[in-house]
Amino acid sequence: MRAQISANENFHRELYRRSQDDVMVYNPTEQDYTIYWDGFPHIIPAKNRNIGWGNGKRETKRYIGELFAKRMVVQLINEQGQKAGEKRVKEMEKNGVNFANDADGKYKENIQVWGNQGVVPRTDNPELVEKYWDNVFLGIVREYGVEVAEQDMTRVREQSEPLDEKIKVISNKKYTPEEEYQPVNEYIPETFPEKIKETLTKG
């Protein structure tokens, strides 16, 4: 009984340990992306903005990084689908299809375009999820304490990783910076010196 309790304790300890890993993420969009955790903002800068880790990059804890990756992947797939759907509608209109003048036009448009996975991909499309996850989750910068037994770490990998096996591999890759960077401290507007506030809030 005690051995089982100890194993469970190690399991949950390892879950917590992994959540504290420092990881690097990347924002490929034109707009800053903000993750709020316990009321505090964590800004991942737009792809052309540098706040200390390189353009579009941000070092953060794994639990923040994975949350950002999940949300950004959905956003990127939705944006891809929106563009693909609009393109298909225009192509159909050029070929004589006019949804606007059809009493059932909106229904037909939804069936033939927006509900057609061959045109507009779902946000759980495994190939796109893997592609975009690999693009935004750059890897582990440093691991937080690795004293837990390997068997417990294996159990965590099997049960706590997001999505499929390929995403598990991506989420455990190491990050190798292309060049040296000088990170800044956490963005907490209420407590930051004015100079740091100015650095982080410049567009």
Is 107 contained in some domain? Answer: yes
Helix (H, G, I), strand (E, B) or coil at 113: helix
- Is residue 8 predicted with pLDDT exceeding 60? yes
203 within domain boundaries? no
Higher pLDDT pick, 111 / 156: 111
Give how many domains the chain has, as a whole number.
Answer: 1
pLDDT value of residue 146: 63
SS3 content of the chain, % helix, strand, coil (to 5): 50, 15, 35
Q: Is 195 exposed, middle or buried (0-12, 13-18, 19+ CB in 10 A)?
A: exposed
Both tokens of residue 146? 């690795």
Residue 201 domain flag: no
Ranked by mean pLDDT, the top range of 131-140, 162-171, 180-189 is 131-140
Highest mean pLDDT among 55-59, 164-168, 179-183: 55-59
Domain range for 60: 2-189
Region 174-188: mean pLDDT is 61
In a domain, 135, yes or no: yes
In a domain, 199, yes or no: no
Q: How far is CA 105 from CA 9, 108, 128, in A?
A: 58, 5, 30
Least confident of 19-23, 79-83, 137-141, 148-152: 148-152
Q: Is residue 25 part of a domain?
A: yes
pLDDT digits (tens, 9 = 90+) for 38-92: 899 999 999 999 999 999 999 999 889 999 999 999 999 999 988 988 888 888 8
For residue range 86-115, list pLDDT tens digits in order: 888 888 878 887 777 777 778 777 777 877
Looking at residue 189, what is its pLDDT?
Answer: 43
Rounded Cα distance between 82 and 66, Å, is: 24
Flag whether pLDDT at 194 surpasses 90: no
Encode burial over 163-177: b for 16+ CB neighbours within 10 A, e otherwise. beeebeebbeeebee
pLDDT of residue 106: 80
Residue 198 located in a structural domain: no
Of the two residues 13 and 138, the one the predictor is more confident about is 138
DSSP category for residue 193: -
Whether the per-residue pLDDT at 150 is higher than 60: the answer is no
